[in-house]
Amino acid sequence: MAHALILAEKPRFAGALCAMGRAAGMGVSIAGPPPVCRFKHLPARASAIPRFTDAETNALVEQIGRVAARDGATHLVAADTGWTRWLCQYGVHIGPPCYPMPRRELFDALFDKASFSALAARDQLPHPPTRVVRTPRDAASIDIDPPYVIKPCWGEGGHLVSRAEDRASCAERTAHAFAGGCARAIVQSFVPGQDVDLSLLADDGRIVAHSVQRNLGRVDGHRRIEVFEHDGVLDIGRRLCEATSYTGIAHLDMRIDERSGEPVILECNPRFWASAEQSARLAGVNFLALGLGIT
């Protein structure tokens, strides 16, 4: 029987992959640093290992290899951003095959919002006007029209993301982001409309499975999403994957621009996402099981 060893540091991401694995009849176990290995609601055996690091690679590779052998793991799967990036580089040295992933250079180019914006412009993907800023002073003289969204180039989960209505407040919000530890940021024209997400699994530039979803907010105390089809959203994902020869899982943040009715792509997360199990269940697409069929 297939058994996935899930490397994670975020319990919600780990839980989503555990649920998909069990739904497919697979064995699952988890390895990661506290708190994920101590999270009592995860439905799988969990082993404590150090947080990913490039400095202690050999020791971590050996430790994960021992955990994989003990658990009978047939595959390694990264649940979240840090472990995906680490496994892109070092997974080949551990033993069991890894869930499909891009090479690390492409992972970085897609995850970093500045380089992704340049990539979107290069490949003529619909994308809001975006500028990279390295100091708050850069934001004060930005040459795109307000309102703005300020985002750290390397970040996720909405951390240090803010909106500004004019150039003066853009400089203030950018200063706040830099004071919070941001090294570089983007300033992006705000797109009014509805958020939509495209989740996909690709193999060498070809999308083999996908789902499109929108957030319904909290219903009865639980986060809810709706899955639907949208040809324009899927076409943007297809063009991105073809242009980069992408392999692996990805979650693309988009918005349907209320001024044109057309989708624009905001950013790319080349990893699993927190609502992955719900997406898979509603769309009838088990991204975990399908990906392991590619390896």
- pLDDT score, position 40: 61
Distances (CA, A) of 90 to 60, 104, 108, 261: 10, 10, 15, 43
- pLDDT score, position 45: 84
How far is residue 156's CA from residue 24's CA, in Å, rounded to a whole number? 29
Query: Which domains are present in the chain?
Result: 3-99 (3.40.50.720), 129-189 (3.30.1490.20), 192-294 (3.30.470.20)
* pLDDT under 70: residue ranges of the chain: 37-41, 43, 294-295
List the structure tokens of 8. Answer: 């994670």
**Residues 66, 48 contacting (CB under 8 angstroms):** no
- pLDDT score, position 221: 76
Distances (CA, A) of 185 to 98, 112, 181: 32, 10, 11
- The pTM score is 0.95
How far is residue 214's CA from residue 227's CA, in Å, rounded to a whole number? 7
